[in-house]
Amino acid sequence: MLQILLGMIALVGGLVIFLRGSSMLPAIPGKGGTPPTAGTLFNSKLTGVVLMLAGLVFLGSTSFVHIDANRVGHMKRIFGFFELPAGRIIALPGQKGPQARVLGPGFHFIPFVHVLYKVEEFAIINVPDGYYGELTALDGQAMPDGMFIAPQIPDGEVKAMLDAEIFLTKGGYRGPQETVLKPGRYRLNHYLFKVRIDQQTRATVIPAGHVGVVKSNVTRPGTRCVQEKVAVGGADGRVEGALTVALVPKGCIGLWKEPLLPGAYYLNRQAYDVTLVDTRIKTWEYKGGYTRRSLELTIDEQGNIKQRERAEQQPIPRDAADGVVFVKIEGWDIPVELRVLVQIKPENAPIVVGSVGGLREVEARMLTPVLRSIVRNVAGSEIQVPVRKADGTVVTPISYVLRPTRVLDLIDNRESIERTIEGKMRLEGQKAGIEVMEVRIGEPGLPPELLFARKRVQLADQLAQAYARETDAQTKRTEREKARAIADEQPRLVAAQIAVQVADQREKERAALGRAERQFLEELARGQKAQALVLGQDRVAVLQALEK
């Protein structure tokens, strides 16, 4: 007000002086004029102009406002002709109070703005990536009965909605808004809108391998909403005893039939509650929670088999679904470890969430009790096994026989038991919207007494095989040593063989000479005999004497 008063006084005074002044410049001494006095200076037109300019500066300083680049200007009108209507807190043009109009960055000329208004600056709204801004309007029309949050505005109309004057004149509702501010920078009227950005306004992110089941608290305008009972469908479209859930189309109040696929969504948490459902294959393990007994067989130096019993407590692992399942077979309580692979199909996720709540709830409330019951019933009843010969081999062609289950079937016919359990679990899983992929039996905790005879036979067989291998090794070692000795005596053996061959040759030579000598003597005797027959015996004797 002081600036206006001073400006008006200077402006009026300057105008009066300008109009009454004699000249623009006072007389200059020495040029024939009278020297200037205070009166002449006060009455000069130049003084009037200076005073008018000063008055304009004083008045103009009340009409300019500068807003920084990262701020938004707000005005509260102090003087005006119109009061705010009852129940309103944001003023329209001409009304006193917080104004709907905001000022952008830079200089603004508004006549007497610093007199008529109180100017305030607020920081612009910055919504970071991965978050949204939750809006609450402090003024506007009252919401109709049954509405707790203002309906969402289409993306193309959000800019107009954020204009306070348009919001107030076009029927904007007071209170929380379903419309959210996506990442970016916004110049809002802080008198009208309250913006919340914190950990509760993070964007809804559906990671890969998951879907989001939406429970909506609002209905989008123009959506046709018809609630229907939905159940899990099997191969023929029906599953007897399947859970049913009331689902609605997307955009309606209730549980949406269509889940959200992987991605990022800017959903107002006041309006939508999203439940993440893991659609990847999950493994449920049932193990631990019992005492495992075992017999250790050892062999002393004399080859005698000795046994020693051990007991080891098996705790339930932290990541296990539950402890082992105890089954009663042939009077024995057998702990059986299980591994179950399950999966929720995306189209069944709303049914699971609506009927039970989630995969953990299905596991704890439905499938685990059912699994225990099925395993006990299957293991304690009958089993279909292939017919075998006396030596244990399966007869061909393969035929099957149904007989009561035995304890050792948990080892010998494990696959048959697994198939039976898996078939029953698939049906129970379909009722809850869960697909059971497979069921596998782990290592059963059989009483060591049942395995004692089998272990002794196995150990004896192994000992027999070991003894046979040792004997074979000794025989081979003897043959190897004999071969080495023969190799070492090879030169002498060769010489002896040559000597034998020489002696044999000499023997043959002498025999041949003897035969030749005998033949010579025989021929000589025959000649002498013939000579005696011709000459006579006495003449032959004389000739023989002469030859000597």
Q: Is residue 234 part of a domain?
A: no
Categorize the per-residue pLDDT at 446 as very low, low, confident or very high, splitting at 50, 70 and 90: confident
Same domain membership, residue 495 and residue 480: no
Q: Is the pLDDT higher at 547 or at 330? A: 330
Same domain membership, residue 462 and residue 363: no
Whether 179 contacts 135, CB under 8 Å: yes
Note down the domain range covering 475.
Answer: 454-488
Instruction: Tell the burial category of 497 from Cβ atoms under 10 Å away from its Cβ (0-12, 13-18, 19+).
Output: exposed
Same domain membership, residue 313 and residue 336: yes
Which of 60-69, 97-106, 501-510 holds the top average pLDDT? 97-106
Q: Is residue 265 part of a domain?
A: no
Q: Is the pLDDT higher at 409 or at 168? A: 168
Categorize the per-residue pLDDT at 64 as very low, low, confident or very high, splitting at 50, 70 and 90: confident
| Dist. CA 450–CA 453, nearest whole Å | 7
Q: What is the pLDDT of residue 205?
A: 96
CATH number at residue 288: 3.30.479.30
Q: Hey, how many other C-beta atoms are within 10 angstroms of the C-beta on 281?
A: 13
CA atoms within 13 A on the CB side of 4: 9
DSSP codes, 276-331? EEE-S-EEEEE--SEEEEEEEEEE-TT--EEEEEEEEEEPPPTT-SB-PEEEEETT
Q: What are the contacts of 39-42 at 24+ separation with CB within 8 A?
A: 42/17
Q: Which of 453, 471, 505 is the last residue of a domain?
A: 453
Q: What is the pLDDT of residue 10?
A: 61
- % of the chain at pLDDT higher than 90: 36
| Dist. CA 392–CA 62, nearest whole Å | 109
Sign of CA dihedral 316, 319, 324, 325: positive
Whether 298 contacts 333, CB under 8 Å: no
Number of structural domains in the chain: 5
Token code pair at residue 14: 């300057």
> Residue 140: what residue type?
G
pLDDT of 65 above 80: yes
DSSP codes, 412-443? HTHHHHHHHHHHHHHHHHHHTT-EEEEEEE--
pLDDT of 46 above 80: no
Query: Mean of the per-residue pLDDT values for the chain?
Result: 83
Same domain membership, residue 143 and residue 15: no
pLDDT of 21 above 70: no
Q: What is the pLDDT of residue 361?
A: 86
| Dist. CA 250–CA 229, nearest whole Å | 15
Q: Is residue 477 part of a domain?
A: yes
Same domain membership, residue 21 and residue 11: yes
Which of 37-41, 147-151, 402-406 is the least confident region?
A: 37-41
Whether 462 contacts 439, CB under 8 Å: no
Sign of CA dihedral 393, 398, 399, 402: positive
Q: How would you classify the pairing of strands 71-77 and 97-103?
A: antiparallel
- For 25, list phi and psi in degrees, rounded to 5: -125, 140
pLDDT of 426 above 80: yes
Q: Is residue 239 part of a domain?
A: no
Q: Per residue in 457-494, pLDDT tens? A: 666 667 677 778 878 888 887 888 888 877 777 787 77
Same domain membership, residue 430 and residue 303: yes
Same domain membership, residue 15 and residue 89: no
pLDDT of 126 above 90: yes
Q: Is the pLDDT higher at 225 or at 127? A: 127
Q: Which of 426, 453, 480 is the last residue of a domain?
A: 453
Q: Which of 20, 39, 60 is the last residue of a domain?
A: 60
3-state secondary structure of 489: coil
Same domain membership, residue 496 and residue 416: no
Q: What is the pLDDT of residue 335?
A: 92
Q: What is the pLDDT of residue 9?
A: 66
Q: Is the pLDDT higher at 459 or at 383? A: 383
Whether 323 contacts 315, CB under 8 Å: no
Q: Is residue 230 part of a domain?
A: no
Q: Per residue in 173-225, pLDDT tens? A: 999 999 999 999 999 999 999 999 999 999 999 999 999 999 999 998 888 88
Q: Per residue in 243-287, pLDDT tens? A: 889 999 999 999 999 999 999 999 999 999 999 999 999 999 999
> Residue 180: what residue type?
V
Token code pair at residue 499: 């000597």
Residue for token pair 């304890």: 407
Same domain membership, residue 116 and residue 44: no
Q: Is residue 229 part of a domain?
A: no
For range 131-148, the mean pLDDT: 93
Q: Is residue 140 part of a domain?
A: yes
pLDDT of 5 above 70: no
pLDDT of 76 above 60: yes
Q: Per residue in 150-163, pLDDT tens? A: 999 988 899 999 99
Same domain membership, residue 469 and residue 376: no
Same domain membership, residue 399 and residue 511: no
Q: What is the pLDDT of residue 303?
A: 64
Q: Residue 196 pairs with which residues in a beta bridge?
A: 134
Same domain membership, residue 360 and residue 463: no
Q: What is the pLDDT of residue 283?
A: 93
Helix residue spans in 71-207 (DSSP H): 113-116, 158-161, 164-169
Nearest to 123 by CA among 73, 87, 171: 73
Nearest to 75 by CA among 65, 62, 83, 84: 65
What is the distance of C-alpha 399 from the center of its chain?
45
Q: What is the pLDDT of residue 142?
A: 92
